[in-house]
């Protein structure tokens, strides 16, 4: 039996349709919808394509969207002042600064300058702290981990009491998803092991996993024989493994040997079309959440 495919592309459609309905309801109730500003510094091609996709998605949902492009040589001081302007703009509910930033700008200073109330990327230390505390404290979850958890839940995978193994301990994926899956509450309550390059016998940990989340950035790292029969496998890795000679586009692969893993796993995410489409979707979800909060609390 081949594993059920958890399609991020399909889930994105479902979630965006849900958000679109919320935006209509919000406009009826408050006379305005969510406001998102995307700040792009410089002309990094990958950043341009991410921002373009974010802007397009926001506009399709009916957001008030500002794309604020700044020159590569903007000073840190001017960028912080720009963020402060949007912190004080009542029509803006989410502020996104596309990373990475040019070397002369301190990314940590920029992330902490964004009001935690408008930090829809979920990277501000205040929001990360609230995520760790859990429960009612949680405000904005970082988008990729939020997308992973949403995929696990929507795929009907039982998380309570499940053995979850997370490969990778980065601040944007491995660490937060490990904390989130171990929280007390729905879509979590799992027993979590986080593994990394210093872990002894990676395979034995992976083999125990009912839910295996892989975010290492190493193509083919997880072998099919490391996967427990029937496990849910979430492959976060996005690796360029070649170029399609006809289209000139990059050939992408995950961290899991997908074709072989499908024969063992119960459910699995593909690359591309798995976790990738969920990240921007969660950014939109956070922005809608922020707008409800701000509009509901407006004086």
Query: Which residue, 64 or 169, is less far from ligand NAP as judged by CB?
Result: 169
What does the buried/exposed string (b/e) look like for 80-89 if buried means 16 or more CB atoms within 10 Å of the residue's CB?
Answer: bebbeebeee
Per CB under 6 A, 172 contacts ligand NAP: yes
Burial (CB count <10 Å: 0-12, 13-18, 19+), residue 234:
buried
Residue closest to ligand NAP, measured at CB = 170
Q: Where are the alpha helices (DSSP H) in the chain?
A: 8-30, 45-60, 76-87, 107-113, 125-133, 143-154, 174-182, 202-208, 258-261, 276-297
Query: Which residue, 15 or 295, is less far from ligand NAP as judged by CB?
Result: 15
41 forms beta bridges with: 70
Site string for ligand NAP, 137-166 (x = CB under 6 A): -------x----------------------
Q: How far is the CB of 147 from ligand NAP (least distance, A)?
A: 7
Per CB under 6 A, 5 contacts ligand NAP: no
Q: Is 98 marked active-site? A: yes
Per CB under 6 A, 170 contacts ligand NAP: yes
* CB neighbourhood size of 203 (10 A): 11
Segment 199-258, which members bind ligand NAP (CB under 6 A)?
A: 202, 215-218, 221, 236-239
**CA–CA distances in Å: residue 209 to residues 159, 193, 234:** 11, 9, 11
Q: Which of 35, 122, 174, 270 binds ligand NAP (CB under 6 A)?
A: 174
Are the C-beta atoms of residues 69 and 96 closer than 8 Å to each other? no
DSSP letter at 185 equals: S
* CB neighbourhood size of 263 (10 A): 12
Q: How far is the CB of 149 from ligand NAP (least distance, A)?
A: 13
Q: Which of 232, 279, 286, 287 binds ligand NAP (CB under 6 A)?
A: 279
Considering only the stretches 90-98, 156-164, 172-180, 225-233, report the one whose residues sit in contact with ligand NAP under the rule CB under 6 A.
172-180
Q: How far is the CB of 271 from ligand NAP (least distance, A)?
A: 8
Q: Is 175 marked active-site? A: no
Q: Is 119 marked active-site? A: no
40 forms beta bridges with: 69
* CB neighbourhood size of 43 (10 A): 10
Burial (CB count <10 Å: 0-12, 13-18, 19+), residue 296:
exposed
Q: Which of 39, 164, 173, 261 binds ligand NAP (CB under 6 A)?
A: 173
d(CA 209, CA 216): 16
Query: Which residue, 116 or 219, is less far from ligand NAP as judged by CB?
Result: 219
Annotated catalytic residue, options 117, 119, 121, 210: 121
Site string for ligand NAP, 7-46 (x = CB under 6 A): ----------------------------------------
Per CB under 6 A, 110 contacts ligand NAP: no
Instruction: Give catalytic residue positions.
Output: 54, 98, 121
Residues that bind ligand NAP (CB under 6 A): 144, 167-170, 172-174, 195-198, 202, 215-218, 221, 236-239, 275-276, 279
């Amino acid at each position: 039996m081949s594993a059920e495919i958890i399609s991020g592309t399909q889930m994105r459609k479902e979630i965006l349709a849900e958000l679109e309905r919320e935006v209509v309801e919000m406009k009826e109730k408050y006379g305005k919808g969510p406001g998102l500003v995307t700040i792009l510094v410089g002309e990094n091609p990958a950043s341009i394509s991410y921002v373009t996709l974010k802007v397009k998605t926001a506009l399709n949902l009916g957001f008030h969207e500002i794309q604020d492009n700044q020159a590569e040589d903007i000073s840190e001081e001017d960028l912080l002042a720009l963020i402060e302007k949007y912190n004080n703009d009542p029509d803006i509910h989410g502020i996104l600064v596309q990373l990475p930033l040019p070397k002369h700008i301190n990314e940590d200073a920029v992330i902490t300058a964004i009001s935690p109330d408008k930090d829809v990327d979920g990277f501000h230390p205040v929001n990360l702290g609230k995520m760790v505390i859990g429960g009612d404290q949680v405000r904005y979850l970082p988008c990729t981990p939020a997308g992973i958890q949403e995929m696990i839940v929507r795929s009907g995978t039982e998380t309570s009491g499940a053995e979850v193994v997370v490969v990778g301990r980065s601040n944007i994926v491995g660490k937060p998803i490990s904390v989130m899956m171990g929280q007390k509450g729905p879509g979590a309550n799992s027993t979590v092991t986080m593994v990394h390059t210093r872990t002894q016998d990676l395979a034995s940990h992976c083999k125990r996993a009912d839910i295996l989340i892989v975010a290492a950035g190493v193509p083919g790292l997880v072998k099919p024989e490391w996967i427990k029969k029937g496990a849910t496998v979430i492959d976060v890795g996005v690796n360029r493994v070649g170029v399609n000679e006809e289209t000139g586009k990059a050939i992408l692969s995950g961290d899991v040997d997908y074709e072989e893993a499908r024969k063992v796993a119960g459910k699995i995410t593909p690359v591309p079309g798995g976790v990738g489409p969920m990240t921007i979707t969660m950014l939109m979800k956070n922005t809608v959440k922020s707008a409800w909060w701000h509009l509901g609390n407006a004086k």
